[in-house]
Amino acid sequence: MLEIKNLHARIVDDGTEIIRGLNLTVKAGEVAAIMGPNGSGKSTLSYILAGREDYEVTEGDILYNGQSILEMDPAERATSGIFLAFQYPMEIPGVATMEFLKVAMNEQRKARGEEPLKIPEFLKRVKDAAASLNMDMAMLKRPLNVGFSGGEKKRAEILQMKLLEPNLCVLDETDSGLDIDALKIVSDGVNALRSPDRAIVIITHYQRLLQHIEPDTVHVLYRGQVIKSGDKSLALDLEANGYAGVIGQAA
């Protein structure tokens, strides 16, 4: 589903190269974990997948369902089914969360040639999704992410993911800022989305989240490259022995 080939990318502003020849393949139905120490390029990778203009791809390609997405803008990538759960979701004053959800869901439908949702159907879907994440509907009447706690923001991200039904989910440090109860709820939410035709990429520093969402593959990112890939035991090994060993082998 996702194929990253020899990707090189740098920051537009100052030319710093962050991704240096990264290769990664994620198949439909797969849950892939990308782990790595701080500064290894994990969050940058998520932004590049979503099409952030602050980064420039200088070499290589990103194929999604066999098609290069490099020329697509963020909205086009989103309507083609790529969803990024942000590490730090933006606060947007004055924009009611419900209204935002409605517009975003209808954009997805429009891209698929479907009619906009009728209000009662929309409300039903949001209510069901919110209930499954233990979210209060009152929260959704507030402006988008404004005044939400860290945990509430992360839950709101997963809620959006559920409602937009993407094919490729990229979760950037979704576990940060979550207490154990919230972590459980969020993980259950993600697990419920596992399906044979959907791929999930989990970007994380710690193994903690992976206890709740079991990955099929684990990839270690270091200095903008995948330096080691394996199954879930690799995550346990990292947890027990730290990154130093893996980095040492690669060097």
Q: How far is the CB of 153 from other proteins (least distance, A)?
A: 11
Measured in whole angstroms, the distance separating CA 224 from the mean position of its chain's CA atoms is: 18
Q: List the 17-26 sheet strands across, edge first.
A: 17-26, 2-11, 55-64, 67-68
Backbone φ and ψ for 91, nearest 5 degrees, come out as: -95, 130
Say whether residue 71 binds other proteins (CB under 8 A). no
For residue 198, give both structure tokens. Answer: 């959907």
Are the CB atoms for 27 and 65 separated by under 8 Å? no
Cα torsion through 123, 96, 176, 203, rounded to 10: 70
SS3 of 122, please? Answer: helix
Say whether residue 106 binds other proteins (CB under 8 A). yes
Q: How far is the CB of 103 from other proteins (least distance, A)?
A: 6
Contacting other proteins within 149-168 (CB under 8 A)? 160, 164
Look at residues 58, 46, 47, 61 and name the one whose alpha carbon lies nearest to residue 3. Answer: 61
18-57 footprint of other proteins as x/- string (CB under 8 A): --------------------------------xxxxx---
H-type helices in the chain, by residue range?
42-50, 74-79, 97-111, 119-132, 137-140, 150-164, 180-192, 208-212, 232-241, 244-250
Say whether residue 138 binds other proteins (CB under 8 A). no
Point out which span in 19-27, 140-148, 189-197, 224-232 binds other proteins (CB under 8 A). Answer: 140-148
Q: In whole angstroms, how far apart are CA 45 and each of 51, 55, 115? A: 10, 10, 34
Say whether residue 108 binds other proteins (CB under 8 A). yes
Q: Which of 36, 44, 48, 86 binds other proteins (CB under 8 A)?
A: 86
Question: Judged by CB, which is closer to other proteins: 32, or 140?
Answer: 140
Question: Judged by CB, which is closer to other proteins: 107, or 216?
Answer: 107
Q: How far is the CB of 165 from other proteins (least distance, A)?
A: 11
Q: Which of 17, 99, 188, 216 binds other proteins (CB under 8 A)?
A: 99
Q: How far is the CB of 150 from other proteins (least distance, A)?
A: 16
Applying CB under 8 A, the residues found at the interface with other proteins are 50-54, 73-75, 77-79, 83-84, 86, 89-90, 92-96, 98-100, 102-104, 106-108, 111, 116, 119, 122-123, 141, 143-144, 160, 164
